[in-house]
Every structure is written in structure tokens, then in C-alpha cells.
Amino acid sequence: MKKVFLVLLLVILLSEISSLEDQNSNLSHYIGGAAGISTGFGLSYRYWPEEYGWQVVFTPMSDGADVMINLGLGALKTLHETTYTRLFLYLVGNGTYNNYEDYDYEEMVINERKQTFESVIGIGPGLEIYLFNNIVIDIMFGFKYGFNGMFQGLGFTAETALYYRF
């Protein structure tokens, strides 16, 4: 009777371990923070179920008088994946809207209220490193093109992100 009980207990434990592995193998939802010239900056959600994935980065900021909103969208493609890393290709773009008072610090007066819109697109390779089963860090680099604003023109870009996968 003890042998039957031990065998039954062993079968139950092995089936539970197998079901836990199945749950952990589908970690396609990511939430965290991202910062970069072409990905944008702020809170980020990423969905990466298989070979292709996408991400959204969003930051609204306001102090009552000034407003800044950043929205970034991106497409991702897995190139190679191992147990602890993923090499991928990204194509992203972001736009930043600013509505602020232009202040002259020499004269100590407000010149006028300004509205600006800056946009940047970028492409390049990235490396996702699984620090733990559910925590990953992304390091991305490549080329960007800015349409207006501070990052106008063609140049180099660097991006990073920290995510929790579930």
C-alpha cells in the first residue's frame, strides 16, 4: 500500500511540475519602463507571443501650465533565441507633443506659449537578457531619423528597457 501511495504521489508531483513549466513557457506579455531616442520614454507594454511582437511606450506629463505627451510604437522580430537571451530586430517610432511657456531667463519674462511636435523613427538590432524567469532587460542600438526638434536628421540611437514578463 505504501508503494502505491508513493507512486501516486510521484505521478502527481511530476504532473504539477509539468503544468508549471507549461505556464512559464508562455510569457508573452511584458510591462515595464523604456527609454530611448527612437522608442520613446515612459511606461511600456510589450506583447511578444511568437516570432513577431509589438510594443507601446507612453508618458503624459503636466504641471498644470505645461503639457508634454510622448507616445512610441514599435514592431519586433526575433532573429535568434536561447535559454537566457533573445537577439531581435526592431522598427520603432515616437512622437512628443509639448505645450509650454517660453521663458526668457535674461529678461525674467514669459515670451509666449509654444507648441511643438517632435518625431523620430529608428531601426536596429537588440538584445534581450533574461535576468530571472520573469525579469528581462533590453539593450538596443541602431540608426534613427528625426523629423524635427532636438534629434533632427540621421544619426545613431541607443535604447534600453526593463520588463516584467507574465
**Tens of pLDDT along 103-117?**
777 877 777 888 999
Using pLDDT thresholds of 50, 70 and 90, give the confidence band for residue 19.
Answer: very low
pLDDT value of residue 106: 80
pLDDT value of residue 1: 57
Stretch 24-33: mean pLDDT: 87
pLDDT value of residue 107: 75
CATH code for the domain in which residue 34 is found? 2.40.160.20
Q: Domain span at residue 157?
A: 1-165
Tally of structural domains, the chain: 1
Report the distance separating Cα 105 and Cα 86, nearest Å.
Answer: 48
pTM of the predicted model as reported, rounded to 2 decimal places: 0.78
